[in-house]
Structure 1
Amino acid sequence: MDALATRPDSRLAPRGAALPTWDPERDDTLVVRQVRQETADVRTFVLAPVDPARFAYEPGQFLTLDLDIDGQRVNRCYTLSSTPTRPDTVSITVKRVPGGRVSNFLHDHVAEGNLLHAVGPMGDFTCARHQAEKYLFLSGGSGITPVMSMARAHLDLSTRADIAFLHSARTPADIIFRAELELMARQEPRFRFAAICEQDAPLEPWHGLRGRLSLAHLEAVAPDFRAREVFVCGPAPYMAAVRDLLKAAGFDMARHHEESFDFATLAAAEPDVAAEVVADAAAPATGFRVEFRKSGRTIDCPSDMNVLEAARRAGVRLPSSCTKGLCGTCKSKLVEGTVEMKHGGGIRQREIDAGMVLICCARPTSDLVIDR
């Protein structure tokens, strides 16, 4: 992580021509323009290209940060809380998690002027691909970020969509973007916001909806929720509870959309592969040998199976998230051997040229040695 010297900001000058679109294939460097404290344990990091450029993405998509932490490369995904209608910057909103390697690094060491490296934006969780006249946005905790991006985009564009936004938090002090959401609700009559809190804050009793999300809460905020397009993001147990609730209420689940991988798990410390116990002693009899150099583990991997799946079956835990070749979390150095890889954008061509692979979508075509 580097620092960028203060210099005049040419973005404020009149523009004679349109700015280029930021392309991480050409330059993956972003400068931290601002750090905002949202709640006691949540911060927003506003990022911009070093040289003026604009971002093009769909609301709800994510960036993958490429970080150097204590001399080790770590990739982490963060959904963008910003909106593409304000294309000169993007922002990620990060909750500090006890023991979380990356979230604590960002909170403790990243400040205005620092340089970060990233790839993206990318992802399928976006209202841009499921447009409707009425939406219901449901979020829990820091899962608010992608639906906040969607809400900001709709209000900026004055789409006239009817939006009900229901957020679950521990206490009123933990409601991320509370002031902005309440302002949005006052300014736009088609936008309704409500929060559900489990308990009072130390200095603020809560007089709104209480407990955990229920059918009564849905009917109070959006009695016509069965006619809405629903977007859900939050911890895995929260999303599972929402699925069960909607199904029991007779909701058409074809109109239900949730973040397909749990960003909350990425905030935890990277697991120690060497400490894992083999869970499946019946390793495949055919295929190729895969050696994980750092852990000293060797597994068998069939030629028709990706390396990540074979590792999981052998009881080896490796950092991963989307399992679709999108997020870059499982990016690893291929020291020896060859693979067949069909990815979804989570790795750049120059990284492939340098011997990096995404093990979630890489199938061996020879014996492998991987630097994990």
Structure 2
Amino acid sequence: MSKLTTKTIASHAKVAKAAPPTESEVIAPSPVAANWSGYLRVRSIVTETPGVKTFRLVPSSGEHLLPFTFVPGQFLNVAFWIGGARMNRSYSISSSPIQREYIDLTVRREPRGAVSRHIVDLLKVGDQIEAAGPVGKFTFDGTEADSIVLIAAGVGITPMMSILRYLTERSWAGDIFLIFTFRKPAEFIFGNEIAAIQRVNPKLHVAVTVTKPEGTDWKGSRGRITKELLTKTVPDLASRRVHVCGPQSMMEATKAMLIELGVAPDQLKTELFGATKPAPAAAGTALKPTAEATGPLVTFSTNHKAVRIHVDQTVLELSEELSIGIENSCRVGTCGLCKVKLTSGEVAMAVQDSLTPDDQANGIILACQAKPKSDIVVEA
């Protein structure tokens, strides 16, 4: 959280430097297939900026340590019953995995987000949260490269903070370049803590730019992230590993710039949650495509429904047209909530991050990614 003091940060870094932990001591193998599920209790809440709060979660059982481990950059799936409907969302972890007693989720209130509004407006200390995970492959623990470039916009800073905190606590020897953009100075999430970490970590290099500083006394960089800002901040950029997290348009623009500047695609990682969901149908109408479907036949065996699918349509999208309740959250193949069993046929999936070898061996697919290559039958 942003109230972590310079003294505390320095103490953590000093301990790590005096006795560098081994990988096995720091992070046990993480349940990347969301094998853990249960409840966590809200221990404290900190307002980071207007509309953004950090929720510190501890085991609801009263145990001292969390019932799971995670890798910096992973996220947690959470579920709430809101208005009689079960809703799932995925939120990046902003705390360091070295802090085994708690986990921090930093959440921005979205005006049209039912879950984020519920969390930010209504959640209070002592409440319990249903959760599962952690999952995700947007990770960096210092073993993948000898330096790291972290580029974030808005609340996309949350997984970067987990990485930054962890590397600082370990006194990691590599250079860390943090480039952060947001709309207004008041929206500088973790601003105080980033400044505090800079004071104890000489390997951290920070560049911040504000896109709408008008009417404020902001004296720093202005405007969006540009190629000039990237090359000015990061020497030898093309040789480095880069992580980018933020709105889709920002990530696409930044990725294009990085590739133009020579960053290898296999050294570039992006993170996106909440791909666009289908708009609800108007009252009294059915949510159906206007053109007749000519693709393979999809049978949902549990619901006893079988229809043809449209070209490039996913199994999840088809299930929503038929009001078949396949749970989902991220819709980009990383959270694992939409796993279903394929009992017949073949599908193509662009992303399979949340499938384990056991899942693949047992015919489990991700409904949000699965596009039938033949007639298929799924258990849903």
Smaller-chain TM-score bracket: 0.7 to 0.9
One-letter amino acid of the structure 1 residue matched with residue 217 of structure 2: P
State the 1:223 CA deviation: 2.8
Matched, 1:321 2:334: no
One-letter amino acid of the structure 1 residue matched with residue 41 of structure 2: V
Could you list the runs of 5+ residues in structure 2 that have no partner in the other structure? 1-27, 359-363
State the 1:280 CA deviation: 5.8
State the 1:69 CA deviation: 1.1
State the 1:360 CA deviation: 3.0
One-letter amino acid of the structure 2 residue matched with residue 193 of structure 1: V
Q: TM-score, normalised by structure 1?
A: 0.75
* 1:288-299 alignment runs, 5 A limit: 288-290=298-300, 299=307
One-letter amino acid of the structure 2 residue matched with residue 359 of structure 1: A
One-letter amino acid of the structure 2 residue matched with residue 119 of structure 1: A
Separation of aligned partners in 1, 2:84 and 2:77 = 18
* 1:1-372 alignment runs, 5 A limit: 28-51=38-61, 52=63, 53-54=65-66, 55-128=68-141, 131-200=144-213, 202=215, 204-259=216-271, 262-263=272-273, 265=275, 271-272=279-280, 277-279=287-289, 281-284=291-294, 286-290=296-300, 299-301=307-309, 307-308=315-316, 310=318, 320-324=329-333, 326-330=334-338, 359-360=367-368, 366=377
Separation of aligned partners in 2, 1:216 and 1:338 = 52
Separation of aligned partners in 1, 2:264 and 2:139 = 18
One-letter amino acid of the structure 2 residue matched with residue 58 of structure 1: V
State the 1:136 CA deviation: 0.9
Contact residue 148 and residue 174 of structure 2 kept, 8 A: yes
Separation of aligned partners in 2, 1:139 and 1:68 = 31
Instruction: Identify if the C-alpha distance between structure 1 residues 292 and 307 changes in structure 2 by more than 3 Å, giving closer, same or farther.
Output: farther
Instruction: Identify if the C-alpha distance between structure 1 residues 60 and 109 changes in structure 2 by more than 3 Å, giving closer, same or farther.
Output: same
Instruction: Identify if the C-alpha distance between structure 1 residues 169 and 317 changes in structure 2 by more than 3 Å, giving closer, same or farther.
Output: farther
Residue 352 of structure 1 aligns with which residue?
Answer: none
Q: Secondary structure at the match of 1:48?
A: strand
One-letter amino acid of the structure 2 residue matched with residue 94 of structure 1: V
Q: After superposition, what is the alpha-carbon deviation per residue over 1:68-117, rounded to whole angstroms, capped at 9, x for unaligned?
A: 11221111101111110111111111111111111101011111100001
One-letter amino acid of the structure 1 residue matched with residue 76 of structure 2: L
What is the identity percentage for the equivalent residue pairs of Structure 1 and Structure 2?
29
State the 1:366 CA deviation: 4.7
Q: After superposition, what is the alpha-carbon deviation per residue over 1:268-319, rounded to whole angstroms, capped at 9, x for unaligned?
A: 8x842576753362323652445998xxx974259xx9622645899x9996
Contact residue 299 and residue 376 of structure 2 kept, 8 A: no
Contact residue 82 and residue 90 of structure 1 kept, 8 A: yes
Q: After superposition, what is the alpha-carbon deviation per residue over 1:162-203, rounded to whole angstroms, capped at 9, x for unaligned?
A: 10101000011111100000111121111112211012275x
Pairs aligned (count):
328
Separation of aligned partners in 2, 1:330 and 1:201 = 43
Instruction: Identify if the C-alpha distance between structure 1 residues 279 and 42 changes in structure 2 by more than 3 Å, giving closer, same or farther.
Output: same
Q: Secondary structure at the match of 1:263?
A: coil
Contact residue 31 and residue 48 of structure 1 kept, 8 A: yes
Q: CA RMSD in A?
A: 3.9
Contact residue 125 and residue 258 of structure 1 kept, 8 A: yes
Contact residue 37 and residue 44 of structure 1 kept, 8 A: yes
Instruction: Identify if the C-alpha distance between structure 1 residues 276 and 89 changes in structure 2 by more than 3 Å, giving closer, same or farther.
Output: farther
Q: Secondary structure at the match of 1:78?
A: strand
Contact residue 35 and residue 43 of structure 1 kept, 8 A: yes
Q: Secondary structure at the match of 1:132?
A: coil
Q: TM-score, normalised by structure 2?
A: 0.74
Residue 3 of structure 2 aligns with which residue?
Answer: none
Residue 3 of structure 1 aligns with which residue?
Answer: none
